[in-house]
């Protein structure tokens, strides 16, 4: 298995985050056209609003991810800010879950997406708890004279 | 916090500066400052021993237990 050096891995992740950001931006620009092509006129406006909400939350989560990765790159890992970022990302996933539940009245598959978002938020929540405990241990160590 | 560090009192009594004490105890000024300002969460016995040796005092002169007011009321 190829082992990528840590700093390269972080940069690759940041690049990937940037790529997803651009894809979301393109999605936001072309969304009205996509909605017009694949949806009936009755449902087009509500679906457009819901999809823009999904994209807006995704943008916010990506920005927070970028901030988190920047902190990791400068070796600030077990800090309170990172715990806060993970908490926000988790809540972002819960928000996406709720938005997909609203979308489910138009697409049944959205129930699956909602469940995926909820499951992801749970995983991130557990990771946040681990980082929070590690931050506490590090603070204890740093303030041991 | 119930544990109070009276390092500044002992330093004043012995007329020793933070820089000098840090150099003699062999810890950084930043760490000594954390200890002096009651922001430390723990102290190693080895550090406490060195401080007592340099300041020629007892551990009780450096650290003191002060009951919380809330604990007193209950």
From the CB of residue A74, how many other CB atoms can be counted at a distance below 10 Å? 8
Q: Is A37 on the interface with B (CB under 8 A)?
A: no
Give the nearest chain B residue to A139 (CA atoms). Answer: B41
**Residue B70, pLDDT score:** 55
Residues 82-141 of A with CB under 8 A from B: 139-140
Q: Which residues of B touch A139 (CB under 8 A)?
A: 41
Local structure of A62: helix, strand or coil: helix
What's the burial of A140, exposed, middle or buried (CB within 10 Å: 0-12/13-18/19+)? exposed
Q: How many residues does chain A have?
A: 145
- Confidence class of residue A2 from pLDDT cuts 50, 70 and 90? confident
Report whether pLDDT(B74) > 50: no
- What's the pLDDT tens digit per position in A71-110? 999 999 999 999 999 999 999 999 999 999 999 988 899 9
Cα distance between residue A49 and residue A43, in whole Å: 10
Contact B27 A145 (CB under 8 A): yes
Cα distance between residue B38 and residue B1, in whole Å: 9
B44 to chain A, closest Cα gap in Å: 6
Interval A6-30 mean pLDDT? 93
A8 to chain B, closest Cα gap in Å: 33
- Whether the CB-CB separation of A69 and A17 falls below 8 Å is answered with yes
Report whether pLDDT(B73) > 60: no
Tell me which of B42, B45, B59 to substitute to probe the interface with A (most A C-beta atoms closer than 10 Å).
B42
- Whether the CB-CB separation of B7 and B62 falls below 8 Å is answered with yes
Give the nearest chain B residue to A145 (CA atoms). Answer: B43
A56 to chain B, closest Cα gap in Å: 41
DSSP B27: S
**Residue A123, pLDDT score:** 98
Backbone region of residue B57 per phi and psi (left: phi > 0; alpha: psi in -120 to 50; beta: other values): beta
Residues 5-64 of B with CB under 8 A from A: 27, 31-32, 34-35, 39-44, 47
For residue B7, the number of C-alpha atoms closer than 13 Å in the C-beta half-sphere is 24
């Amino acid at each position: 298995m190829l082992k990528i050096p840590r700093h390269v891995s972080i940069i690759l992740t940041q690049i990937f985050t940037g790529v997803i950001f651009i894809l979301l931006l393109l999605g936001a620009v072309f969304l009205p056209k996509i909605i017009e092509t694949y949806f009936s006129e009755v449902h087009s406006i509500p679906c457009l609003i819901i999809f823009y909400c999904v994209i807006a939350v995704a943008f916010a989560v990506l920005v927070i991810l970028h901030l988190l990765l920047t902190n990791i790159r400068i070796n600030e890992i077990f800090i309170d800010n990172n715990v806060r970022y993970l908490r926000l990302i988790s809540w972002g996933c819960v928000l996406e879950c709720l938005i997909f539940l609203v979308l489910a009245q138009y697409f049944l598959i959205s129930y699956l997406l909602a469940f995926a978002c909820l499951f992801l938020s749970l995983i991130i929540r557990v990771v946040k708890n681990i980082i929070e405990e590690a931050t506490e241990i590090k603070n204890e160590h740093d303030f041991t004279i | 916090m119930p544990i109070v560090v009276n390092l500044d009192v002992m330093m004043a009594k012995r007329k020793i500066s933070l820089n000098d004490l840090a150099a003699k105890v062999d810890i950084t000024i930043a760490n000594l400052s954390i200890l002096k300002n009651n922001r430390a969460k723990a102290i190693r016995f080895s550090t406490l021993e060195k401080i007592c040796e340099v300041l020629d005092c007892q551990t009780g002169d450096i650290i003191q237990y002060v009951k919380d007011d809330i604990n007193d009321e209950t």
